[in-house]
Structure 1
Amino acid sequence: MGEASFLALGDSYTIGEGVADAGRWPMQLAACLRELGIAVGTPQVIATTGWTTDELSAAMDTTVLCDAYDMVTLLIGVNDQYRGRGVDAYRQPFVHLLERAVALAGDARRVVVVSIPDWGVTRFAEGRDRAAIGHEIDAFNAIARDEAARVHARWVDITPVSRQAGEQPGMLVDDGLHPSATQYARWVACILPVAVAALSEWMTATD
């Protein structure tokens, strides 16, 4: 039996700003899947700190991609929110990325959309309107959740986990903004069962 292919699309949260490669959540997720006996190859990650939806899309245009992947994850939008783009400006480019993810997976059920964490609870947000940040994150996530449901992609809400982690010791890297590998492990606990479901058809086909 071969290995399942896994494409992770995103920004700083997917590339794991400030953590070692193994601590990034896509890498942790792949490791957890292997522990369950699900053969998964090394994730292909297309993500860079600071990327917005349109910047991720542009990067995909210039990246060598496989014709198809067994699972695709998508976590994008925090930089659209941070740069002051409204929710209406977010929907269309997000939908475009979601459509690309579905095309690459070949089946929307093999696409896992992950919610945007709330950076307003971090040290980086000190002196800012934390409540307003949280409200905007919720609005962006509502769009991502609704659009995922519309095409029957899978949805994982890690935002409550990010809020619980907040500024707790060990939950952020030194910049006071990005999650640590420990916090990413909490995300993976939420994402893992959904990823298993996303790969269920692949597992059945390769048995």
Structure 2
Amino acid sequence: MLLHYLALGDSYTIGEAVPAAGRWPAQLVVRLRERGVAIDDPQIVAVTGWTTDELSSAMDAASFAPPYGLVTLLIGVNNQYRGRDAGEYRDEFARLLRRAVGLAGGHASRVVVVSIPDWGVTRFAREQGRDPAQIAQALDAYNAIARDETGRAGARWVDITPISRRHPELVAEDGLHPSAQQYALWTEAILPVAAAAVK
């Protein structure tokens, strides 16, 4: 039976500034197929710049075909970038996570949440004169919330933030978004968790 895969997120999920094949959801499908998993190409609901509430609104208008054998969720960087309240993020993220579990047929174990990468280490952040320590602190707080809500929901968590911090040079031409090479490193981290989710 062919598994259906839904990827929810923002620029990091749609792969801003990289070819479609370079996006990590696309790379993940290739790697899962190499492991013998019969999985469809990802259905991606993600747009650069989306916050949690904007993703939620887009989901209201999207056409879904549940249950999905795998759902991934990576959202929140634009909440942080716009200076949104962390408590607001918790509420909206928790609602998105409940929707993700519903789309996975009520199986929280099929939902994989990916942490927010640290854009503060990028050339873009330097050129904007942004404080990398302040960005890191804010993103750590957001990721702590997401990890907590993921555990509470019984979903799966993958922390790719350290990868983004170790490889600030692996960015696309825009100097902000990850390159396909960095997404490949994320995929390595996500793969075993996603493989367990689809078992």
Q: CA offsets per residue over residues 105-128 of structure 1, 9 Å max, x none?
A: 020000000000000000011121
Measure the CA separation in 2 of the matches of 1:16 and 1:32: 17
Name 2:185's counterpart in structure 1: 186
SS at match of 1:186: helix
Q: CA offsets per residue over residues 138-182 of structure 1, 9 Å max, x none?
A: 00000000000001100000000000011x2xx111110000000
Q: CA offsets per residue over residues 53-109 of structure 1, 9 Å max, x none?
A: 000000011111013101100000000000000211111110010000000002000
- Tell me the number of residue pairs that the alignment of Structure 1 and Structure 2 aligns: 196
Name 2:28's counterpart in structure 1: 29
Measure the CA separation in 1 of the matches of 2:110 and 2:153: 11
Measure the CA separation in 1 of the matches of 2:78 and 2:22: 22
| RMSD over aligned Cα atoms | 0.6
Structure 2: runs of 5+ lacking an equivalent? none
Measure the CA separation in 2 of the matches of 1:177 and 1:95: 27
The equivalent position to 1:131 in structure 2, one of 122, 130, 133, is 133
Aligned residue identity for 1:36: R
Name 1:10's counterpart in structure 2: 9
The equivalent position to 2:146 in structure 1, one of 141, 144, 147, is 144
Which runs of 4 or more aligned residues in structure 1 lie more than 2 Å from their structure 2 counterparts after TM superposition?
Answer: none
Deviation at 1:3, TM superposition (A): 1.4
Name 1:111's counterpart in structure 2: 111
SS at match of 1:112: strand
Name 1:199's counterpart in structure 2: 198
Name 1:157's counterpart in structure 2: 159
SS at match of 2:49: coil
Structure 1: runs of 5+ lacking an equivalent? 201-207
Name 1:48's counterpart in structure 2: 47
Name 1:205's counterpart in structure 2: none
Name 1:77's counterpart in structure 2: 76
Measure the CA separation in 1 of the matches of 2:88 and 2:167: 29
Measure the CA separation in 2 of the matches of 1:29 and 1:70: 14
Aligned residue identity for 1:21: A
- Alignment identity in percent? 63
Measure the CA separation in 2 of the matches of 1:151 and 1:38: 25
